[in-house]
Every structure is written in structure tokens, then in C-alpha cells.
Structure 1
Amino acid sequence: MRKLFATTAVALTVFGAAAVPASADTVKIAFVDPLSGGAASVGQMGLNHLKFIADTVNAAGGVNGDMLEVTGYDNQVNAQTSLVQVQKAIDEGAKIIFQGNGSSVGIAIEEFVTKYNSRNPGAHILYMNYAAVDPAMTNEKCSYWHFAFDANVTIKMEAMTNFIKDQPEVKKVYLIDQDYSFGHAVADTAVSMLKEKRPDIEIVGNEFHPLVKITDFAPYVAKIKASGADTVITGNWGQDFALLIKAAGQAGLDVKWFTYYAGAAGGPTAIKQAGLDGKVFQVNEGIANLNYGPAMETTKAYTERYKDAPTMFPRVFNAMDMMVKAMEEAKSSDPADFAPKLEGMTFQSFSNGGEMFMRADDHQLFQPIIISAIGPVESGQVDEENTGWGWKSVGEIAAKDTIVPTTCDMKRPG
């Protein structure tokens, strides 16, 4: 298969998307994520990614001659609203659902798609999950019609705690997370893994707060400060992370931050404003400054198109690239035909070209994991949100070293 993005992204920004051939069919992709409210900036970035990639693929001739069409559906980070939007998307011809923000939403969509497909043989829908990382989704709730392209909570915490265990200055850890399934999974996993790897570390707080509802985190930061913590671990994302860091900066809270989503919308700006140079770490599937040529070329093209929201989500590129490869190999855009091609697929990571593979047992992607810190970047390096600060790798784990067991008992069609 051609490597989609490196060869066409720059041409796309210059010439625009190719005209759709009169004989082409349309592959409709529904993006069901927050496009209003406190999490809208994160959702809009995901939609930007999908539209950019679809235009790139279409400019290169589409998939088997068919054109990709991406439509956004606002789910307001609400499970019930999401199901209404998924049904609306299906009614409008979508066969592929992309979602990522909110594991409680993801679990609801996963269950809906599984039931829908069992009740509608011959009209299958596929759920492409680019960011919902509750381990239940690829364990007890696993589904043949769901593929997870972000490392789940357990995988990321394994990498994070392996890094922390070699930091002797970490002695007192405070946990603060959003009060829903993902947040509790982060906290529970952190507690168990730190106890195993660094039993000398004291957990001095384990706090939960409502999802995307807090506008002033000063009271929470005051608790962290009073606890004597030297380190904070958080799974917060979007507005909940940015406002937490803002409050920390205003209070002069001088601790290390270990995060899952500090690089999401608003995070880098808040970190820069708080002056936390080299104190905020994230564990994820990739960053811009890894000097991998194809990724750098695509990143340049993407950020030129979206100057006001230039943050990159490599996992969205991985998901779309692998999906297109599966469709091409199956010579079909029907999920029933191309889903088997995704199972067991090996691929090169968008971020650094490292090997990834989709485990057939539970449809969890295993990929290189990068631990990075943010601070001022040099000329020629990629900064985040036009801050002059960018992510730099401080550790990397190969995909083969991130494998965790699964309890998935996959129910396959037929």
C-alpha cells in the first residue's frame, strides 16, 4: 500500500482536494465527539484531523476509487446524546463511526454498534476508537466491531510508572481525575502499579471531580499544595486539564505533573503561562519533534492549514491509514469485508516509523509509546499552539514491550 500522508499532504495544501469523479461512490464517516461546550476544542481538533486526512486520500484518488466524506456530529460528551447522533449518522448513510473523547461515551457506542450489527445483518457498522482508553473496552466489554487505536489506561500507566520508579525525587504523589470510568481506571491503576514498583511512594491524595463542569480548580490545587505532594498524576484532558494547570500556576504549585493528555487542546498554552518548563510530562503515541521525515512533512502541511489549532493527534493518522489499507486489501468499504483485514495488521507508526500491530484477540493496537516533557524549542522544531514551547522525548518504549494481557472473549460474526 502507498504511504498516504507523506506523499500527498503538501500537494493537497497547494492544490486543494481533487474533484470527485462522477462515477465514484462515497464512503461516509461519522465523527461523533464534542463540538460544543467545554470539550469542543478537543473535538474540533479531531474533526479537523479527519477532514484533512480524507481530503488527502481523496486528492490521491480515494479508496478503491471511492471518496471519503467526513461529517461531524456533536455528542456533548454525553452517552445518550451520542447514541442519538450515531443513529442519525447511520440513517444518513454512515458505516464508520469515529469517537474518542470520553470512555463512558465510548462504552455506550461500542455496545450500541454491537447490538445494531446483530440486529441488522448485511448492514454492518464499525466503531473506530481513537482515544477512549478504559481497559474494559478491550477486555470484558470487547467487541468484534470495535478497534482501539490509542494505548489503553493500563498500557500507558505501565509506561508511566516504569519511568517514575527510576525518579528517586518522587516521594509523595497526589492523584486527581475526572469522575467517570476513565478517571477511576487511571487512579486505580496508578495506585496498584506504584505500590508494586515503588512501595516507598506515599499516595497523599486521590481526588475525583465532575467531568467538564469545574471552572475554578483553585480549591483542588489548595488541597494538593496542603498535602505536601511533590508529584501529581492526572488523566484530565481538555478544559479540565488546562484549567487545573492554570490554577496551579496561579497558586505557585511547584510539583511534577505526569499526564495522559497534557498535549490536547489548551494544555500547552496553560503550561507555558504557568511557567512549568520541564515539569509536565505526558505518555502517548507520539510527538512532533522526533525528526521522522514523513511525519514532519505531514505535520507542516497540517499546521499550515490549521494555524489556529495546530496540535497533532498521531493516533488519528494511524487509525485512518490502517483503515484505508484494510479497505484497499479487501477491495471494499463494507465493514464486514475490511474488518478482518485490520485484525493482526502490522503497520508503521505515524510518529516515528516504529512497528505497530493490531492484536486480533481484543482489537487493541500496540504501538511505540513516547514519554515527553514540554519546554522551549529551538528554531526548526515544532512548537505547540504557537507558544514557542514543544514536546521533547525523554523516554521511548517499543510496541513489543507494552503488551499487557487481555480477558476479552471475542464473539465473532457467523
Structure 2
Amino acid sequence: MFKRLLIANRGEIAVRIIRACQELGIETIAVYSDADKNALHVGLADYAIPIGPAEAQLSYLDATALVAVAKKAEADAIHPGYGFLSENADFARLVTDNGLVFIGPSADTIRQVGSKDAARTAMRQAGLPMAEGTGLLNTLEETIQAAEEIGYPVMVKPIDSGGGRGMAAAGSRNDLLAAVKQLKQAGMPYFLEKYISSARHIEVQIVADNYGHIVHLGERECSLQRRNQKILEEAPSSALTPAMRQKVGELAVLAAKSVHYSNIGTVEFLLDASGNFYFMEINPRIQVEHGITELITDIDLVKTQIVIAAGDALTLQQQDVLIKSHAIECRINAEDPDLDFLPCPGQIEFYHQPGGPNVRIDSGVCAGAEVPAYYDPLIAKIMVRGQTRGEAIKTMQRALHEFRISGIKTNIDFHKRILNNPLFRLGKIDIQFISKQMIS
């Protein structure tokens, strides 16, 4: 096992990794930008080292500086968390080239699954179902022709971007031209995919050791999104029958095997109204919403990441994975839902998080903390567990009622509205639910 591990991240995921390391007996090194010198993760780690200015490009995204700090501090490994450099193949290669262990898949795997074009090619060869689409498109003329051949509406998707960034639905030629213009201005290569109406976003958690053994830990429903970014997730999905659950799990394992995947990751699918699954992508990192899978399986994913990276074989068999309950996660962001979810940085004046049975909070802040304007507005995650979906909803309502934050705007009240929505309570949701039902 590693003696010392550097966390190349911040906020709640850095705190989560520190806790896992403490239970494994691993010393932790936090890094922090000028904006984070008083952050919670800095105080909880065994060592804390400044990494640069507030701007992420000059601190948390400075791969060379991160590796240099890790070597100087005599770390054995680097955990990238999510976001920042977690899906950067060059960073993963730099880590291993310097004699350190990267907590995640190999650089080659990250590069392959990070390109949606390459990933779609590999999945198609493996026999995974996917929506009709194209490869990389280079000119406006071929883009227009491809859209007409596929048939509107289509999705315009960046080749290399994650987290929903740059994605746009185009219902007409004018919509297509506007979406392509934005991507070209941002320097983002793109492809087209057939738009699937009333689709649900289903992702499957996979765990793979370095010796070819892969299992899945069931699915998460991630259809509740704003601006193509998840805001509320639950596990398992209320839309899946046992047969559908088995099918999508087997598809996820097949996808992972086709790219020789190791460590943990997520295989993402769209589910149409007829019950058909379509492969979307593989995320080669820990997910923000990993905690709800932990709640329903009692498997610690962050510790699993670390022990696999240390060389341990996975002893878990597929038949050992039992879904024991229902879990829901609400992402608490410093943002204003009434102003198109505009980020609302500032100082937290009062902070009281909920507790009680079946409630878990993963947070990167406390009273008096500053929420910087430079990073993602996520400040905490409420996760709850119930024997049924109905019980989980009631527990989440209680938890949201208890959560009190002042000094900054948050989306807590917006989550309350979601949980009170009759269609949500019936499980009648899709990826357009927020835009159609919650935003007037």
C-alpha cells in the first residue's frame, strides 16, 4: 500500500479522498491555490502545499507543477479526483513517467475513451448499440449533409469535451449552424448524433482490476440536468426492470473489456421510451455521484480505486453485488436558479448541514468559508438512503429542510421544488425534465 498520496484537486472530492486515505493508513498531501489557502481540504490533510494563483490554469491544471510537488514531498501516488486533470491522458502519462502511480486507468485508455470518435469506433466494433451518428466533421458542408442524412433533430457534440460542455440539440438547419458556430469559436472539434426524444440518462458503475477482472455495481439515473449538467441523481433507476438492469450491466462490462479498462469508471447510456439503450461514453474517473452507489452496495469506491492502483486483485464477484436500497443525491451549488443558474460565489456566513438516520453529506466547506469564483460552484452533496424510492424522497425532503446556508445563494429551494413535483415523484422523468417542468 502507498505511504503518501497527493490529491490533485480541491473541494468536497479532496475531502472525500482524504477520508478514504485515513482509513487505509495513507498520509495525504493537499495542494491549494491562493484562493483556497483556508479551504477545508487544506486543514484536513497531513501536509498542505501551495500550488499557484487562483486561476485554475495556473494551479490545479498545472500538470508539471503538480508532479514536481508530489516528487518533492515523496508521494507514491497521485489521485486526480474528478474534473481538472482527471481525464487528461498526458497528465496520467507524466505521473507514471516520473515513477508515481496514477489513481485511475492507464494513459492509453484515458486517451481512447476521451475521444468520443475513438470510443464510438471501439464500441461499435464490440457490438454495443448506439444512436446513428458521424465521426469527426471538418467542414460546414459535410455537417449539413450529415444532418440531413441522419434527419433532424440531431445532437451536436464536441469530440473531446465532457460534463455536457458544448453539447447542443439542433432541430433545424438554423439551429445546427448556430451550434457549429459556437463550437468553432471555442476551437472544439465535433460530430453529430441522432437526437433521442424523451431519453433518460442511465450510467453504470464499473470496477476493474489490473488483471482483467471486471464487475458492475448497478446503474444510476442521471436524467435531472440543467445545461446538460447533472443536478440530482438516484440509484437504482425507477425505469429499469430486472431484465433491463442485467442487460445494461452486461453492456457496460463489455464496453470496459473492449478497451482493456482498469480501475473504476462509468459507462453512460441513453434509454429511449421503448426501452432501448444507446452507448454514449465512458468516464474514466470517479464520478461526483459515486456516493449513491456506495450507499446501495456498501462498497467504498474511493478506497477500491486506491487498492486496485496499488496492485491488489479484485476479489468481488458479480453475484456478490447486491442492491440493498434506494439512494438519491442532490448537488448543492452556489448558484441562482432564478438567473439561469448563475454561479454565486462569496463568503458563507452560516452553515448547518443535515444529519440523522440515512443521511450522508460530502462537503468541502464550513461556516466562514469563501466560495471562490474561479471553480465549479458545487459546495456539498446531500445523499440519502431508503428501503424504497418513496422513503428516500421523504428522507431527502427532511434533509433539505434542515440544510441552512446563508451569505450566498444556493439551489436548495430548487431541489425542494423538484422533490415536490408530482411527475418526479412518479418517476416520470427524462433529460428535458428540468427545462420543461421546472423552468418557466
TM-score, scaled to structure 1: 0.37
Task: Please identify which structure carries the higher strand content.
Answer: 2
